[in-house]
């Protein structure tokens, strides 16, 4: 089998019991399967939920807390218990785990985004198993990923994984809710995730988790846009992850590898994590060049803008037909004002600048037609 880089997301319901305690039988099953995957030569990263679910009982809560302070306190207790269990279990296979706790801020700040990639890459090169979770203890609502499903998708893109495996408590996607409709039909393969599917896939998940099937579909859509194949389902036993890679998993496969291409980290950051600081308005010629010809944006195509942006800030680009995408601008607002609508030869004669590109195509992400 071809050696691959695999991200495995394990949800709270797949790690804990109804009382909020870590289920050692479930945990051992996952650990043995990960060990088998590594023995086959694959690189593996874990995105593991379970900290809040593992910790709330130790604080005296009868069920998962609903307040922010309750969740954060439970995570503070549970994260240590969770990692301790992983270290003990993986130690039997001579596998050394490393804990990585992330917040949205680690992705939204470009330097921290690059550092996260460098750290994870170094761990993988040295044979360490990264175990990643959201830093629930300090995260606030506006700086969260929403759930670990989305975190796993973004991590998969960040480290250019070949496959994202989302393990859950149901064997894949159905055309309706199988828990309420006995005639629901299982979907073995999806080419893409549509908006209609997202609207239909409502639900909040289990009592100990935060993500329902809608969140998993959103994560799958994001991962696919970043060039990563996705599997959503369940399994049991030492060979379950290997069977999933072989196409024999009990779940739903999303995306074909031959139809996907990896997206470089710079464009990933622009697409999913950057803060927009301004808007450029372009004519029809510039719109066509950006969307259909793979060209960079030149000053001649820009007729107006708004915002007080600096060089290397990210701005949106709007054409005659609406929002086109966003990119990293190579000039400040003040510099761009002198260049509006001017052709390259005019700018060269005036010796205003050394470069005549406003947004380079390698720093551009389009909305229409995907990244």
Q: What is the pLDDT of residues 136-190, one digit of tens each?
A: 666 555 445 567 899 999 999 999 999 999 998 888 888 877 778 888 888 899 9
What b/e string do you get for 224-255 counting C-beta neighbours within 10 Å, with b at 16 or more? bbbbbbbbbbbbeeeebbbebbeeebbbbbbb
Return residue ranges of the chain for CATH 3.40.1160.10. Answer: 5-263
Say what the pLDDT of residue 206 is.
Answer: 46
3-state secondary structure of 110: helix
Give the residue among 275, 276, 283 at the shortest CA–CA distance from 340. 283
Q: Which two tokens stand for residue 120?
A: 């994870």
Helices 213-225 and 148-158 pack at an angle, to 10 degrees, of 10
**Residue carrying the six token digits 């900290």:** 51
Say what the pLDDT of residue 209 is.
Answer: 40
Contact 43, 74 (CB under 8 A): no
Say what the pLDDT of residue 210 is.
Answer: 40
**Residue carrying the six token digits 């069920």:** 63
Say what the pLDDT of residue 359 is.
Answer: 94
Say what the pLDDT of residue 211 is.
Answer: 45
How does the average pLDDT of the chain come out, rounded?
A: 86
**pTM for this model (two decimals):** 0.82
Positive or negative: CA dihedral 266, 267, 270, 272: negative
Helices 265-272 and 110-125 pack at an angle, to 10 degrees, of 130
Say what the pLDDT of residue 293 is.
Answer: 92
Torsion of CA 18, 22, 28, 34, to 10 degrees: 100
CATH class of 5-263: alpha beta
Return residue ranges of the chain for CATH 2.30.130.10. Answer: 275-366
3-state secondary structure of 355: coil
Assign a CATH topology to domain 275-366. 2.30.130
| Residue ranges of the chain whose pLDDT lies below 50 | 142-143, 204-211, 351, 353-354, 369
């Amino acid at each position: 089998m071809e050696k691959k880089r695999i991200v495995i997301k394990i949800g709270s319901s797949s790690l804990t019991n109804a009382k909020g305690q870590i289920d050692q039988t479930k945990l051992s099953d996952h650990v043995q399967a990960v060990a088998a995957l590594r023995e086959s030569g694959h690189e593996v990263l874990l995105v593991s939920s379970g900290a809040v679910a593992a910790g709330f009982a130790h604080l005296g809560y009868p069920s998962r807390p609903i307040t922010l302070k309750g969740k954060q306190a439970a995570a503070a207790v549970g994260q240590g218990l969770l990692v301790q269990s992983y270290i003990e279990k993986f130690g039997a296979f001579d596998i050394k785990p490393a804990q990585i706790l992330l917040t949205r801020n680690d992705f939204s700040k470009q330097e921290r985004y690059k550092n996260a990639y460098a750290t994870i890459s170094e761990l993988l090169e040295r044979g360490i198993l990264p175990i990643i979770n959201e830093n629930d203890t300090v995260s606030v609502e506006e700086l969260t990923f929403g759930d670990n499903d989305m975190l796993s998708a973004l991590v998969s893109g960040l480290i250019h994984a070949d496959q994202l495996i989302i393990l859950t408590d149901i064997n894949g996607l159905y055309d309706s809710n199988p828990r309420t409709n006995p005639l629901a039909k299982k979907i073995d393969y999806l080419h893409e995730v549509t908006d209609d599917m997202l609207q239909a896939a409502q639900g909040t998940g289990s009592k100990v988790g935060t993500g329902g099937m809608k969140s998993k579909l959103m994560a799958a859509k994001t991962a696919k846009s970043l060039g990563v194949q996705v599997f959503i389902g369940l399994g049991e036993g030492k060979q379950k992850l290997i069977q999933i890679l072989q196409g024999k998993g009990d779940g739903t496969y999303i995306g074909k590898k031959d139809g996907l291409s990896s997206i470089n980290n710079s464009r990933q950051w622009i697409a999913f994590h950057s803060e927009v600081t301004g808007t450029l308005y372009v004519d029809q010629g510039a719109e066509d060049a950006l969307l259909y010809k793979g060209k960079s944006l030149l000053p001649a195509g820009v007729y107006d803008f708004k915002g007080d942006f600096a060089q290397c800030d990210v701005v949106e680009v709007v054409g005659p037909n609406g929002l086109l995408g966003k990119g990293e601008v190579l000039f400040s607002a003040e510099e761009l004002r002198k260049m509006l609508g001017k052709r390259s030869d005019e700018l060269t004669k005036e010796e205003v600048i050394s470069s005549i590109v406003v947004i380079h195509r390698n720093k551009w992400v389009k909305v229409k037609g995907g990244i």
